[in-house]
Amino acid sequence: MIRAFSMIELIFVIVVVSILSILAVPKFDKKIYQYYEGNTPIGPLVNPNIIQARNQLLSHLRYTKSLALIDNKFLPNPSFGSNLEVSEWFRSLWQIKFTSLSYEVFSDKPPFNRVADSGEYAKDPLTKKDLNPTDSHILNLDEKFGVTSISLMNLDADANRTFTSISSIFFDNMGRPYIDINKTTNQYQFLLSGKVQIKLSDSTNPSEYVGICIEAETGYAYSCYN
C-alpha cells in the first residue's frame, strides 16, 4: 500500500516552516557584510542597513546633480543686474544639505538665507513629497537605518588629505560640485578641487564605515571604501 501525506500533515509542515523563517529572518538581517575583490577582503565589515542608507544617499546625490543639469541657474553677466537674484545667482544652485544625521535637497531663493523654505525643496519623483526630513522620513538616516555618524571630508587634489567640515554640496549647470557656497563675488573659490568623501557608520561597528566619493570637475558620485 502506498502511503501519502495527508492534508493536515502538509499544513502542519507549512506552519512549522513559516514559524522558523520568521525567527530566522532577524538573524539574517544582523549579518555583517564585507567588500571582496575575488576572495580577498578589501573593505570594512558593515551592517546591511548602512549599505541601504549609502545607496539611498547616493541616489539622492545623483538626483540633485540631475536637477542642476536640467534647471540651469547660470547667468553669464551678473554684473549687469543690481538685484540679489542676479548678482548672487550661484547661491541658488541645487544642493544637498546635511544636518546632523539627516539631509534635504533644495534650491535657495532670495534673500538666500541658506535655509530651505516652503516651495524650495526638490520633490521625490516616486512619492511626490518634499525631500526634507519632515515630509520624507527616510531622509532621517538615524531613524530609518540606524546611522550614528555622518562625516564629510574634502580630499585635496594633491592627494594630501585636507579635512574640511562640509555641510552642503552644490552642483552647477555642468554638473560640477561646489562645497558650502557663501555670500561672495567669486563663487569659483568654492569649486571642488579634490574629491569629497562621505562616510556612514552605526553603533554595530562604529570604527567601520561605508563611503561615497564625489569627484571634482565631473561631480561623479560612486561607492567607495577608502
Please write the tens of the pLDDT for every residue from 25-52.
444 444 455 555 455 555 556 678 888 9
pLDDT band at 144 (very low <50, low <70, confident <90, very high): very high
**Residue-level pLDDT at 163:** 45
Q: Report the range of poorest mean pLDDT among 47-51, 55-59, 142-146, 203-207.
A: 203-207
- The Cα diameter of the chain in Å comes to 98
CB-based contacts of 50, cutoff 8 Å, min separation 6 = 145, 146, 147, 200, 201, 202, 209, 210
Whether CATH 3.90.550.10 fits 44-224? no
Pick the residue with more confidence: 13 or 178?
178
Quick check: 212 and 141 in contact, CB under 8 A?
A: no
Of 15-19, 131-135, 176-180, highest mean pLDDT: 131-135
**Residue-level pLDDT at 155:** 73
The string of DSSP codes covering 49-101 is HHHHHHHHHHHHHHHHHHHHHHS----S-GGG--SHHHHTGGGGSEEEEEETT
| b/e per residue 140-156 (b: at least 16 CB within 10 A) | bbbebbbbeebebbbbe
Residue 98 has pLDDT above 80, yes or no: yes
Residue spans of the domains in the chain: they are 44-224
Sign of torsion, CA 140 142 146 151? positive
CA neighbours closer than 13 Å in the CB half-sphere of residue 133? 13
Residue 129 has pLDDT above 70, yes or no: yes
Please write the tens of the pLDDT for every residue from 82-94.
565 566 778 889 9
Quick check: 136 and 125 in contact, CB under 8 A?
A: no
**Residue-level pLDDT at 84:** 57
Instruction: State the pTM of this model.
Output: 0.75
